Amino acid sequence: MALPTYASTPQVIWYYTFRGICALIFFFLIAPILVIIPLSFNAENFFTFTPEMLSLSPEGYSTKHYEDFFNTSDWQQAMWNSLKIAPMATLLAVSFGTLAAIGLSSEHVPFRRAIMAVLISPMIVPLIISAAGMYFFYSRIGLQGTYLGVVLAHAALGIPFVIITVTATLVGFDRSLTRAAANMGANPVTTFFRVQMPLILPGVISGALFAFITSFDEVVVVLFVGSAGQKTLPWQMFIGLREQISPTILAVATMLVGISICLLTVVELLRRRSERLRGMSPG
């Protein structure tokens, strides 16, 4: 990527402009996230950098907002709700999404593009529309305001991610492997769990991560479909922003960023491991 010696003046100008643009993009993406981290350690109950903080004196910093998070029952309840909803929604999204992707990638399924479009639609349709639709539908069948209702709604939002990542993995999947397994006497269920599933695992894992994060971060649908009993972390943050502007939100946000980074790292490591087992790279 180094600038070649024969570069003309416009090329030199573009070379530096391009780098400048990239730097700006990264700055706008990351700065808002980075700035909340020091703010969450604010000793005051404000969203601003106090003079003590700017002079880096220890009195300007404290962990009181973190203590507040762990000692407030509202926040604790919200966290447990999120931790109950997201894994279930992920489990459902992964099971249905994987099955759908496998079904839709076999050639003899009629209208597979149309079916695919319908299943992907929660990703494309504005969230508020899905949320309103789900609200009316779930009210009719008695799911509105229930744990199951929120889980189902979040699973529906997560399925497109799983379908897309698993479909992408299936493109490289050699169909003769399932034939070989059948030929050796394995029934379709054994073939699925012993041969197909291990090989598409990287896609399934990535899809699961996206589905989990979707549910964990989601605020619009849960506001419509859930009730006070299903108040999730994002919902509590939303309330916190509206009603009492407390830096506790920043502490929660910082922790969520930390969790996201950990999750991403773990999942990426898992994905690489299973990709290696898949024999894509020797070693």
Partner 1 sequence: MADTDSSDAFVAFERVQKSYDGETLVVKDLNLSMPKGEFLTMLGPSGSGKTTCLMMLAGFETATHGEIKLDGKPINNIPPHKRGIGMVFQNYALFPHMTVAENLAFPLEVRKIPKSEREEKVKRALDMVQMGAFGGRRPAQLSGGQQQRIALARALVFEPELVLMDEPLGALDKQLREHMQFEITNLAHSLGITTVYVTHDQTEALTMSDRVAVFDDGRIQQLAPPDQLYEAPQNSFVAQFIGENNTLIGTVKSIDGEFCKVQLEDGEVIDAKAVNIGEVGTKTQVSIRPERVEYNRERMAEGVHTLKAEVLEFIYMGDIFRTRLRVAGKDDFVIKTRNAPDQVRLKRGEQIEIGWLPSDCHALDA
Residues near partner 1 (CB under 8 A) are 174, 176-177, 179-188, 190-191, 194-195, 198-199, 274, 277-282
Question: Which tokens is 88 given?
Answer: 């279930």
Shortest distance, CB of residue 168 to partner 1, whole angstroms?
18
Shortest distance, CB of residue 282 to partner 1, whole angstroms?
5
CA distance linking residue 78 with residue 233, whole number of Å? 5
**Minimum CB distance to partner 1 smaller for 85 or for 195:** 195
Shortest distance, CB of residue 194 to partner 1, whole angstroms?
7
**Minimum CB distance to partner 1 smaller for 127 or for 186:** 186
Shortest distance, CB of residue 179 to partner 1, whole angstroms?
6
Among 203, 202, 201, 235, which Cα is nearest to 216's? Answer: 235
Residue 2 DSSP label: P
**Minimum CB distance to partner 1 smaller for 181 or for 251:** 181
Shortest distance, CB of residue 189 to partner 1, whole angstroms?
10
**Minimum CB distance to partner 1 smaller for 14 or for 193:** 193
Q: Which residues contact 46 (CB under 8 A, 6 or more apart)?
A: 247
**Minimum CB distance to partner 1 smaller for 182 or for 239:** 182
Q: Which residues contact 254 (CB under 8 A, 6 or more apart)?
A: 36, 37, 40
Which letter, b or e, does each residue of 214-241 get, where b requires 16 or more Cβ atoms within 10 Å of its Cβ? bbbebebbbbbbbeeebbbbbbbbbebe
